[in-house]
Amino acid sequence: MRNQWNKPRGLVLVSALYVLWSIIPVAIAVQFSFNDGRSRSTWQGFSTQWYVGDPADAASVLYDPSLRSALIQSLTLAVLTMLVATPIGVALAIGLARWRGRGAQPSNFLMLFPLVTPEIVMGVALFLVFDNLYDFVPFGTWAQFLGHVTFSISFVVVIVRGRLFAIGRDYEEAAMDLGASPWEAMRRVLLPLLAPALLASFAIVFALSIDDFVISQFLVGPASSVTIPVRLYSGARLAPPPSLNALATVLMVVTIGAIATAGLVYKHLGRRLGGGEDSALETVGRFEI
Amino acid sequence: MPTNLQSAEYDTVGQTRWVWPGFALPGVIWLALLFLVPFYAIFAIAMGRIDPILLRPLPEWNPLYWDPSVFAGVLGDLFGGRTGVVAMRTIAYVFLASALCVLIGYPVAYFVSRRAGRWRWLWLMLILAPFWINYLMRMMSWVNLLSPDGQMNQLLGLFGMTSLPDWLSGQHFVVVLGLVYGYIPFFILPLFAALDRIDDSTLEAARDLGASSSQTFWRVTWPLSRNGVLGGLVIIMLPMFGDYYTPTLLSGSPRTRMIGNTIDQFINQTTSQGAVGAALTIVLMVFVAGLMAYYLITINRATREARR
């Protein structure tokens, strides 16, 4: 009989091949963003010219007007979205977790809906509404910002709600038994306990926004509102120079930074403040609906 | 935990009765104005009229005046017309890609969650890595590799293969593999979480009762992870049915057009056809909602059986 502790060679092989397959193409794309030449398939030596090269050529991410504006647009949108979606989402999560009246159930449904709506449907919906009803909102940054906040809110609610349930109401009630008003209990007990989920939400919303393609593309306006993913989409098939790879690499580094920050903050603060075990993975597991 | 009596008392203290809905209010209003109303706008446009002078669709907000002619035309085209071919192709691509995701993803998720041993954290980082990389960048990387003078052809050239096809124009398998490449991480992660939750003692019990390792897998592990597989499938199939960027980047040919491409074209490119685009979006929505309902019913039944 085969032993349970046998080395699972077949599984190791499949997993190793999968990991290589998933990572090598991207690694090559990153490698060629540092190529000392215009080719994206023949290595000509290391250089950072596609990132910060000469202003005179205007061929690097820093000096090519279209690449630079895409980078600025992506960062602007992500920061704006993060600052607006997180507070709205946190308040919604607290409200939905405690509100027991009529209307709580429908509101909860409304919050879950964006999570299961294919992005293209939301893109079409927002495009049509800005085109026909809210025509005072111009396509471009404003429309993209409103769209990004809309799909981000529900993610914040899911993250914060997990933490809320883990904390429970005991701490708050203890504070009120000791004479705190409901407001004080919230401000001085609940919010500090929620801090990890709050900071994680900031970072996740930033990452969601900067990573978004479909909504940004449906709501794009003037050339200055083209984001990095939209620029990658329109440029990838036109035999672009390695500066496009460099732009994509910058996006990757920024996203990894945001998500790593979220993970570290969540873990660190979560442990220090206590209030229930709740790992980031469980949060992801909740997306199983 | 507070008892019900205590909570009831607590809720009557001060203004708490309207405080909680107040917290939810900004979010609810936002979602009503920027999710529900836009959602309704799809119907208003699909069932609206065409402006006779500007030749652009006009929304009809009152359902009493809805004109179903465009919608009927789209349905006609869907059953027996050109759009029908695109829809069938989309379904075939998505099911094929999803099947490949299960075939490749299950062993990987199983290995990393249950058998990876000491290096589990590293494996986990590696299977999470694609999450941190933009989808468009991952597709662009393949465009690089598969272009006529790209690394793929250089590599095959080393083996003496020279008369190679153009990978990036109208190859069905390239698009399907592209879909697998793009979405498989989103399948692996929820499955990983489901497999990770299985208690080791359950498996040990099966072994103690004399089950072989394959019996243990098929009669314990697999049934316990089936909901994870279904959940992962829903997560990847929802966006795959609406995908239009993968076939555009990896092929761009009408031969590999998916339903998302048709919607994208009618909404973003030829604005006079907005009503057709909106009607197709409704069809897509209904189809996806059907899948979703099937999933929820299955999960419900499974939980009920597990409780019994």
Determine the distance in angstroms separating the CA of B193 from the nearest CA of chain A, rounded to an integer: 6
Averaged pLDDT, A76-84: 96
Residue B42 has pLDDT above 80, yes or no: yes
- Contact list in B for residue A40 (CB cut-off 8 A) is 144, 147, 150
The per-residue pLDDT for range A88-135, each reduced to its tens digit, is 999 999 999 888 878 888 898 899 889 888 999 999 999 999 999 998
- The two three-digit tokens of residue A179, written as one number: 């004479």
Neighbours of A11 (CB within 10 A): 17
Whether residues A125 and B263 touch (CB distance < 8 A) is answered with no
User: What CATH number is associated with residue A70?
Assistant: 1.10.3720.10
Determine the distance in angstroms separating the CA of B48 from the nearest CA of chain A, rounded to an integer: 12
The per-residue pLDDT for range B237-268, each reduced to its tens digit, is 999 999 999 999 999 888 999 999 999 999 88
The pLDDT of residue A5 = 53
The pLDDT of residue B18 = 76
Mean pLDDT of chain B: 87
Nearest to B284 among A121, A170, A228 (CB): A121
Residue A63 CB-half CA count within 13 A: 13
- Mutation target vs B (from A1, A26, A109, A120; most B CBs, 10 A cutoff): A120
Residue carrying structure tokens 């009927």 = B72
The pLDDT of residue A271 = 64
The pLDDT of residue B280 = 94
Determine the distance in angstroms separating the CA of B151 from the nearest CA of chain A, rounded to an integer: 6
Identify the closest residue of chain A to B22 by CA–CA distance: A95
Mean pLDDT of chain A: 86
B254 forms beta bridges with: none
**In a domain? residue A9:** no
State what percent of residues in chain A have pLDDT above 90: 47
pLDDT band at B179 (very low <50, low <70, confident <90, very high): very high
The pLDDT of residue A29 = 93
Nearest to B42 among A29, A124, A282 (CB): A124
Residue carrying structure tokens 């709580």 = A104
Helices A141-167/A104-116 angle, 10° precision: 120
Whether residues A110 and B19 touch (CB distance < 8 A) is answered with no
- In Å, what is the CA distance from B27 to each residue of A94, A289, B14? 11, 20, 24
The pLDDT of residue B15 = 52
Strands B57-58 and B49-50: antiparallel
Nearest to B140 among A4, A131, A232 (CB): A232
pLDDT band at A74 (very low <50, low <70, confident <90, very high): very high
Residue pair B71/B57 in contact (Cβ under 8 Å)? The answer is no
Averaged pLDDT, B224-249: 92
The pLDDT of residue A2 = 45
- Mutation target vs B (from A124, A154, A170, A232; most B CBs, 10 A cutoff): A124
- In Å, what is the CA distance from B146 to each residue of B133, B182, B208? 19, 16, 51
**In a domain? residue A110:** yes
Highest-confidence range of B89-98, B129-138, B190-199, B206-215, by mean pLDDT? B89-98
Whether residues B24 and A176 touch (CB distance < 8 A) is answered with no
Domain coverage including residue A271: 63-288
Distance from C-alpha of B287 to C-alpha of A226, rounded to nearest angstrom? 31
Whether residues B14 and A229 touch (CB distance < 8 A) is answered with no
**In a domain? residue A8:** no
- In Å, what is the CA distance from B111 to each residue of A10, B127, B217, B294? 10, 11, 13, 29
Asked casually if ipTM beats, i.e. exceeds, 0.90, the reply is no
Contacting residues for A237 by C-beta, under 8 A, at least 6 apart:
B143, B168, B249, B252
B49 forms beta bridges with: B58
Determine the distance in angstroms separating the CA of B231 from the nearest CA of chain A, rounded to an integer: 5
Highest-confidence range of A181-195, B88-102, B121-135, B258-272, by mean pLDDT? B88-102
State what percent of residues in chain B have pLDDT above 70: 94
- Mutation target vs A (from B34, B36, B135, B244; most A CBs, 10 A cutoff): B34
Q: Is A266 left (phi over 0), alpha (psi -120 to 50) or beta?
A: alpha
More confident: B13 or A63: A63
The pLDDT of residue A282 = 42
**In a domain? residue A10:** no
- Contact list in A for residue B31 (CB cut-off 8 A) is 110-111, 113-114, 150, 153
Distance from C-alpha of A147 to C-alpha of A149, rounded to nearest angstrom? 5
Whether residues A99 and B238 touch (CB distance < 8 A) is answered with no
The pLDDT of residue A88 = 96
Distance from C-alpha of A76 to C-alpha of A72, rounded to nearest angstrom? 6
pLDDT band at B6 (very low <50, low <70, confident <90, very high): very low
State what percent of residues in chain A have pLDDT above 70: 91
Residue pair A37/A29 in contact (Cβ under 8 Å)? The answer is no
Residue B33, SS3 per DSSP? helix
pLDDT band at A163 (very low <50, low <70, confident <90, very high): confident
Residue carrying structure tokens 């973003």 = B268
- Contact list in B for residue A176 (CB cut-off 8 A) is 10, 13
Averaged pLDDT, B172-197: 93
Whether residues A211 and B134 touch (CB distance < 8 A) is answered with yes
Residue A155 has pLDDT above 60, yes or no: yes
Residue A258 has pLDDT above 60, yes or no: yes
Nearest to B21 among A99, A119, A124 (CB): A99
Range in A6-10, A17-21, A203-207, B239-243 the model is least confident about:
A6-10
More confident: B265 or A56: B265
Whether residues A133 and B59 touch (CB distance < 8 A) is answered with yes
Whether residues B23 and A26 touch (CB distance < 8 A) is answered with no
The pLDDT of residue B258 = 94
Whether residues B137 and A14 touch (CB distance < 8 A) is answered with no
Domain count, chain A: 1
The CATH code of domain B70-307 reads 1.10.3720.10
Nearest to A124 among B30, B234, B277 (CB): B277
pLDDT band at B8 (very low <50, low <70, confident <90, very high): very low
- Contact list in A for residue B228 (CB cut-off 8 A) is 288
Distance from C-alpha of A73 to C-alpha of A76, rounded to nearest angstrom? 5
**In a domain? residue A32:** no
